[in-house]
Amino acid sequence: MGNEESSPVDESVLPRTLSGRTLEALAEYMKSGKASKIVVMTGAGISTSAGIPDFRSPETGLYANLARLNLPYAEAVFDIAYFRENPEPFYALAHELYPGKFRPTITHSFIRLLQDKGLLLKLFTQNIDCLEREAGVDDDKIIEAHGSFARQSCIDCNQPYPEEEIKRHIENKEIPRCHHCKGLVKPEIVFFGEKMPATFFQNQSLPMQADLCIVMGTSLTVQPFASLPGMTREQTPRVLINKERVGGIGSGSDDVLILGDCDEGVKRLAEACGWLEELEALWAKTVPKVATDLGKPAEVVKKDKDEALDDEINKLTKEIDETLSLSKWHEEKVRSEAIPASSGNGTLNKASGSGIAVSVARPHENSGGNLDHVYGKQTTAQTLASEGLASEENEKQSGAAAQEGDNKN
């Protein structure tokens, strides 16, 4: 079951579990103690008000804005084969999106509230931003279907990599390397060409145990995640808090639709449950210590969030555009340098499980082992060119000074 259309349930069909298909009936059910094992399923829509763009929105999504760069295709930034040859685009993106730069939304705090009340069985999320964790949701309650920035490892030998070290590399705009085999390291985000985490499949049947399913901020287009809401029992109420109806939710006898902005939807639900004050107090604790726009009152953030999102996307695409220099010349350079080379003993290194030959030479690194060559520091050719320009400019200035001296004399 994905985002296919299905007819809303006939109003003559009575609910099996709820007293009605309304927000008030849902709140009554949640307060009664009958909803003690809640499964939550989320997508990028719960993070957009934090300033993080989603992936697929036609005009504001991450892919739409990366598409105008000189990547071979927008999704290449998350393609494992492309990453092996050219990791700079991903690490430039990681520098912008790494956890710690964004405040969790009140929707993330709502999930934390469910946990604190002992009601959260499991959170299934498609998001890689770790905002659930920053809101205080425990690691053992989270299934990150597409991985996240929470862990990192070598793509060749799979050895874990220290969190503090990758933070430092990303902050310093450097490409981290494995301490064991010197292979490329990346956060355990599921790239195209990689398998989903085993924990997803180990917990995939959990919705069958739930007595309430809450789906928020997702288009339910990507399988197998999109099939999760359909795995609940017929008598289990399903709640959709989303801008539009997706996944056939609304066709079940106990489906409740709360359409619109996710943050507004969870506040309405929390208010109906009598939890709004508690929720807002919990969200207030996520305000960064340093005073920034993230610490503004909710009303101000909501008023300016579209503008802020545009600014964030423009900033993101501008910095990547300026620093990556993925020009036609660069693409040709990557292709020419990606020709498999011998490892010194006449053999080739191969991507684990991919069948792709990987050159021992690392065309994406300079002699310093960092990203200075893509983050604005000049290449040798650029330095020579600038020195030539500077010399020419100095000659012009010297001539002008001499002329000025003659005029004074």
Name the least confident of 86-95, 239-248, 277-286, 303-312: 303-312
Residues near 1 by beta carbon (within 8 Å), at least 6 away in sequence: 220, 226, 227, 229, 230, 247, 248
Residue span of the structural domain in which 393 resides:
384-409
Q: Is residue 152 part of a domain?
A: yes
Same domain, 264 and 408: no
Residue 129 assigned ligand-binding role: yes
Question: Which residues are catalytically annotated?
Answer: 146
Mean pLDDT of 131-146: 96
Residue 56 assigned ligand-binding role: yes
Same domain, 303 and 212: yes
Is residue 161 exposed (0-12), middle (13-18) or buried (19+ Cβ within 10 Å)? Answer: buried
Calpha distance 331→76 (Å, rounded): 13
Mean pLDDT of 132-141: 96
Same domain, 267 and 193: yes
| 260-285 per-position pLDDT tens digit | 999 999 999 999 999 999 999 999 99
Residue 16 assigned ligand-binding role: no
Q: Is residue 364 part of a domain?
A: no
The whole model's pTM is what? 0.70
What is the pLDDT confidence band of residue 8, given thresholds at 50, 70 and 90? confident
Q: Is residue 72 part of a domain?
A: yes
Q: Is residue 116 part of a domain?
A: yes
Same domain, 74 and 208: yes
More confident site: 321 or 296: 321
Same domain, 284 and 400: no
Same domain, 278 and 391: no
Q: Identify the pLDDT of residue 59.
A: 58
Same domain, 299 and 170: yes
Give me the chain's average pLDDT, please: 77
Q: Is residue 65 part of a domain?
A: yes
Among left, alpha and beta (phi > 0; psi -120 to 50; other), residue 147 is left
Residue 44 assigned ligand-binding role: yes
Pairing of strands 142-144, 212-216: unpaired
Residue 211 assigned ligand-binding role: no
Residue 409 assigned ligand-binding role: no
- Convert 30-42 to b/e letters by CB count within 10 Å (16 or more is b): beeeebeebbbbb
Name the least confident of 82-91, 143-152, 297-306: 297-306
Residue 325 assigned ligand-binding role: no
Instruction: From residue 273, give the alpha-carbon distance in Å to each of 60, 213, 401.
Output: 34, 16, 79
Residue 219 assigned ligand-binding role: yes
- CATH code of 175's domain: 3.40.50.1220
Q: How many domains does the chain have?
A: 2
Same domain, 277 and 189: yes
Whether the per-residue pLDDT at 323 is higher than 50: the answer is no
Q: Is residue 8 part of a domain?
A: no
Same domain, 180 and 83: yes
| 156-205 per-position pLDDT tens digit | 999 999 999 999 999 888 899 999 999 999 999 999 989 999 999 999 99
Residue 361 assigned ligand-binding role: no
| 378-391 per-position pLDDT tens digit | 333 343 344 444 44
Residue 80 assigned ligand-binding role: no
